[in-house]
């Protein structure tokens, strides 16, 4: 089983982050637009079980992703299953219709501009994503993949990278949670 081992941080000074990343040998690429439609399960509350199901659109490509519950209190480590959808955007629309026919309902769409960097540190591969999330803010996510036997080492390496990038005060809530919180705050 493959786990996504991730930490996320709100970013105020993008220039300083970019400089620290460059000093480690990483460089953010060109921005890409991502639109993630999240779905509610017809018979269980994903907010309560800490799971997520989404369809992501990036350009002409689309993916369906399941994220299991977070398995520790410090990081956002969780089982992740992501599959490409055949047919690109048409395939995404067809899969959305299928989910809705099965009783899943759309909850919200998270839109962001993402710039990615790949980095290898101490023999481990990381993906670093700088995200400008509509109605939520600017964040950096650092992540690596691990199997069950490698989880503790992966989390330790993630912490080391966060320290080298001078990242503090991690955010465990998802962009969806932050977006829904923002909406509820504006409604009151």
The residues annotated with a catalytic role in the active site are 38
Q: Where do the DSSP E strands lie in the chain?
A: 2-10, 32-40, 52-58, 61-67, 78-84, 105-121, 124-133, 137-147
What long-range pairs does 84-91 form, CB within 8 A, spacing at least 24?
85/55, 87/62, 88/60, 88/61, 88/62, 89/57, 89/60, 89/62, 91/62
Residue 172 — φ and ψ, nearest 5°? Answer: -90, -15
Copy the structure tokens of residue 108.
């919200």
CA distance 99 to 41: 9
Contacts of 187 (CB under 8 A, 6+ apart): none
In a 3-state reduction of DSSP, which class is residue 34? strand
């Amino acid at each position: 089983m493959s786990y996504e081992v991730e930490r996320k941080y709100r970013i105020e000074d993008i220039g300083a982050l970019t400089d620290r990343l460059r000093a480690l040998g990483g460089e953010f690429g060109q921005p890409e637009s991502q639109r993630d439609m999240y779905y509610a399960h017809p018979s269980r509350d994903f907010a309560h079980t800490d799971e997520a199901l989404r369809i992501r659109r990036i350009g002409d490509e689309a993916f369906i992703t399941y994220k299991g519950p977070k398995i520790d209190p410090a990081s956002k480590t969780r089982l992740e299953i992501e599959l490409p959808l055949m047919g690109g955007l048409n395939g995404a629309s067809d899969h959305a219709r299928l989910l809705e026919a099965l009783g899943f309902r759309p909850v919200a769409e998270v839109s962001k501009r993402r710039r990615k960097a790949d980095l290898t540190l101490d023999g481990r591969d990381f993906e670093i994503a700088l995200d400008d999330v509509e109605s939520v803010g600017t964040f950096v996510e650092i992540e690596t993949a691990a199997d069950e036997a490698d989880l503790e080492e992966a989390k330790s390496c993630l912490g080391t990278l966060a320290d080298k990038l001078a990242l503090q005060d991690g955010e465990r809530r998802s962009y969806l949670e932050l977006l829904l919180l923002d909406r509820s705050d504006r409604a009151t």
